[in-house]
Structure formats: C-alpha cells, structure tokens
C-alpha cells in the first residue's frame, strides 16, 4: 500500500513535467493531457443521473469536472484509463494482491475504464489535488463501513509493508444522496524514515455515480488546502448530478 505511491509524475502538454516525492525513493509515471470511527453517512438529497460505461464514455465525461475548472494555480491533467490504476488505488486505499492484518481490511478498487480521473499539482509543488468521477455498483455506505471496521491495519505487498490509519471526518455540506469524508495516513513500515503521507478525501454518490476529491501531501504539505478541496468537490458533485 502506498498513499501517493511515492513520487507521482504527470506528463502535461508542451512537455511540462512535474514531480513530487511524498513517500519513498520510487516513482509512478502517468501520461495525461489537459482536456476541455466517527461521523455517520449523510443523506442530503437525490437526483437522477446517467449510467455511462465507456472509456470513460461521453456520458460520464459530461458528468465530470474539467481540468480548466480547477482553482487558479493548480496544474491539472486528465489521466487516461490505462495509466489510472495506481492513482485510483492510492485514492481508494486498494492494493490488488496484497494482504492485510487484520484480514479483510483491503478496500475495493475502482474500474479505470469507468472513471474520469483528474490530477493537479499544488501551487507549491509539494502536494496533489485529485478529482475522480466513477460509476459504481455498490452504495457509498460500504466505503464508510470498511473505514469504521478497519480504522487501523497493516498492508503487505511483496517486500513492502505499510500501516494505514483512517479517521472519519464530518461530511462536506453538499446536496447528495450519500456523502462521507475521511483522512487516511499511510506509514511506510518497510522504509520508516520516509514521511507519513496524508490524504484528506471527500466522497459523494448519487444514483451510481461516485465523486472523490482528495488532497494528498506529506509532512508540512499534509495540511489540505481546504478552500481548493471544497471548491472542486462541490463543483464535481453538482456536475455529477447533471447541474
């Protein structure tokens, strides 16, 4: 398990390359292009929505935030489905093939072919702001239940061992059928000198369309840019509801 899976690189237009190193001495490289327990699960409202299924599909794309809607100073790119699994696993906490102690604590992964994945480097260059809009088959309550059932667990994947601590937070005030918020801290047990990576994650779901907005950083950069996080989350949830 990694939080940002060490350094995440985005290949942006005009050969602009950005990189940070939040966890360990390894990296993830992704191609992209800029295209136009605690709190209870909150049930605020409901709305109809499409059920798109392509890669990611024009229907889902129209229900998703655009890179030009990120706050000023955030360099955003849309990540193609083929390069999205690592970012999605970092976002959800999934790690296919890994084992956990206690057993059964590994979160479910998202299908990259049914997700629009956007990622942006922070203005300071030491954190990331990610927004994902995905179609899912399970209620958001399953994510909340897993977080409450496994607030602290260890993940082993090959020679890598990490400790994951999840804290439920008050949900963001958005109109949504389901809404939760959580903070995930990932400690590198196999590289104890590496800083802890912290993800602050807001999640909402309406009629099978789930929206994630996450701010990910390490050390001093772990404190989220709350204004930017709230802004992209609110916009993304409204868009997912067809507004």
**What's the confidence (pLDDT) of residue 173?**
94
Q: Give the phi and the psi of residue 108 in degrees, each rounded to 5.
A: -75, 150
User: What CATH number has the domain bearing residue 75?
Assistant: 3.40.1000
DSSP for residue 177 = S
Residue 24 pLDDT more than 60? no
**What's the confidence (pLDDT) of residue 133?**
98
Rounded CA separation 214/31 (Å): 20
Residue 54 pLDDT more than 90? no
Upper half-sphere CA count for residue 19 (Cβ side, 13 Å): 15
Domain of 106 in residue numbering reads as: 7-240
Copy the structure tokens of residue 154.
Answer: 């260890």
- For 190-239, the DSSP string reads TSTTSPPEEEEEEEEEETTEEEEEEEEEEGGGGS--HHHHHHHHHHHHHH
Of 190, 180, 203, 195, residue with least CA distance to 157: 190
Rounded CA separation 155/103 (Å): 10
Q: Which of the four pLDDT bands, split at 50, 70 and 90, describes residue 57? A: low
Percent of the chain with pLDDT over 70: 76
Residue 37 pLDDT more than 70? no
pLDDT digits (tens, 9 = 90+) for 90-146: 999 999 999 999 999 999 999 999 999 999 999 999 999 999 999 999 999 999 999
pLDDT digits (tens, 9 = 90+) for 185-217: 999 999 999 999 999 999 999 999 999 999 999
User: What is the domain count for the chain?
Assistant: 1
- Does residue 2 sit within a domain? no
Spell out where the chain has E strands: 7-11, 17-19, 27-31, 75-79, 99-101, 115-121, 127-135, 152-157, 160-169, 178-188, 197-206, 209-218
Please give the model's pTM, rounded to 2 decimal places. 0.79
**What's the confidence (pLDDT) of residue 204?**
99
- Does residue 86 sit within a domain? yes
Least confident of 29-38, 50-59, 86-95, 120-129: 29-38
Q: What is the mean pLDDT of residues 20-38?
A: 37
């Amino acid at each position: 398990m990694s939080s940002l899976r060490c350094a995440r690189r985005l290949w942006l237009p005009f050969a602009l390359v950005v990189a940070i190193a939040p966890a360990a001495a390894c990296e993830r490289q992704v191609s992209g292009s800029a295209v136009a327990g605690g709190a209870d699960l909150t049930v605020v409202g409901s709305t109809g929505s499409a059920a798109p299924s392509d890669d990611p599909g024009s229907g889902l794309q129209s229900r998703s935030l655009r890179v030009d809607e990120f706050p000023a100073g955030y360099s955003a790119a849309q990540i193609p489905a083929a390069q999205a699994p690592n970012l999605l696993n970092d976002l959800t906490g999934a790690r296919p093939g890994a084992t956990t102690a206690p057993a059964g604590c590994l979160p479910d992964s998202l299908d990259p072919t049914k997700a629009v994945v956007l990622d942006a480097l922070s203005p300071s260059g030491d954190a990331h702001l990610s927004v994902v809009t995905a179609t899912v088959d399970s209620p958001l309550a399953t994510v909340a239940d897993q977080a409450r059932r496994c607030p602290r667990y260890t993940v082993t994947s090959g020679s890598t061992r990490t400790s994951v601590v999840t804290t439920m937070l008050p949900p963001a005030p958005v109109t949504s059928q389901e809404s939760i918020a959580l903070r995930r801290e990932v400690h590198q047990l196999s590289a104890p000198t590496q800083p802890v990576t912290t993800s602050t994650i807001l999640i909402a779901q309406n009629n099978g369309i789930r929206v994630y907005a996450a701010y990910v950083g390490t050390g001093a950069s772990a404190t989220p840019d709350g204004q930017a996080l709230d802004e992209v989350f609110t916009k993304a949830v409204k868009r997912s509801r067809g507004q």
